[in-house]
Chains A and B, each alone.
Chain A
Amino acid sequence: DAGVIQSPRHEVTEMGQEVTLRCKPISGHNSLFWYRQTMMRGLELLIYFNNNVPIDDSGMPEDRFSAKMPNASFSTLKIQPSEPRDSAVYFCASSPGLSNQPQHFGDGTRLSIL
């Protein structure tokens, strides 16, 4: 079975540029989560969707960050403009959509903003 697929795996770009991270959840999963992992702050939930609708975006750091889920099989996390402090590993996870079901993680996108 295909797991959660993220692209790109690595992204290096200069500050001020727009960055788009992509995620394909596991087929049939109704919930999708975006996390950010850094040494200083650990694993932080940025936003999560259920049935393509954003449910909780309280973790989105600021207006430079936006996330969309246009359909059940695709989501994007966009940073515009990017800043060096956005450098982190960004994970996407999906789950069947019930609170007692575990989340399944992708392998992440390592983002470096120069």
Chain B
Amino acid sequence: AQSVTQPDIHITVSEGASLELRCNYSYGATPYLFWYVQSPGQGLQLLLKYFSGDTLVQGIKGFEAEFKRSQSSFNLRKPSVHWSDAAEYFCAVGAFDGNEKLTFGTGTRLTIIP
């Protein structure tokens, strides 16, 4: 079975600073990987996804993520954060076995300071 670890529960960054949110997964083969963002009172919105091919994937809102098989990681990055990026971020992993279940990490709460 697959699993996901988001080691940072809460991160605080200054507006305009760069951001990296960590995600480590466990799965026996190449997984499907997703990053979602959740604003207060709302559902999860897809930021980006990785299935195969180019290991650097671009998403919405200026986010990108890099799949590193050797490190079992799929870290989310943004070169310059905006106050509107304050939210909860979830990494999720799915399998190539026909089952559509996703395993979500516990989330990282991002706070932006002026």
A residues at B contact (CB < 8 Å): 4, 31, 33, 42-43, 45, 48, 50, 55-56, 91, 93, 95, 97-100, 102-108
Contact = CB atoms under 8 A, between A and B. Distances in A.
Given A99-B32, A100-B51, A102-B34, A50 B100 contact: yes
B98 interface: yes
Nearest to B41: A107
Interface stretch (B18-26, B68-76, B78-86, B102-110): B102-110
Interface residues of B, number: 24
Given A56-B101, A99-B98, 13 more contacts: A33-B100, A43-B44, A43-B107, A45-B102, A56-B99, A91-B43, A98-B100, A99-B32, A99-B95, A99-B96, A105-B36, A105-B45, A108-B42
The listed residue with most B CB atoms (<10 A of its CB), out of A4, A45, A97, is A45
Interface of B: 32, 34, 36, 41-46, 49, 51, 90, 94-102, 104, 106-107
A43 B101 CA distance: 12
A42 B101 contact: no
The 9 closest A-B pairs by CB, nearest first: A105-B43, A105-B44, A43-B104, A102-B46, A107-B43, A42-B106, A100-B51, A99-B100, A106-B43
A interface: dominant SS: strand
B42 A107 contact: yes
A31 B100 contact: yes
Contacts of A95: 100
A33 B92 CA distance: 15
A26 to B, nearest CB: 12
Contacts of A45: 101-102
B4 to A, nearest CB: 10
Tell which of A55, A97, A102, A103 has the most Cβ of chain B within 10 Å.
A102
Nearest to A107: B43
B75 to A, nearest CB: 19
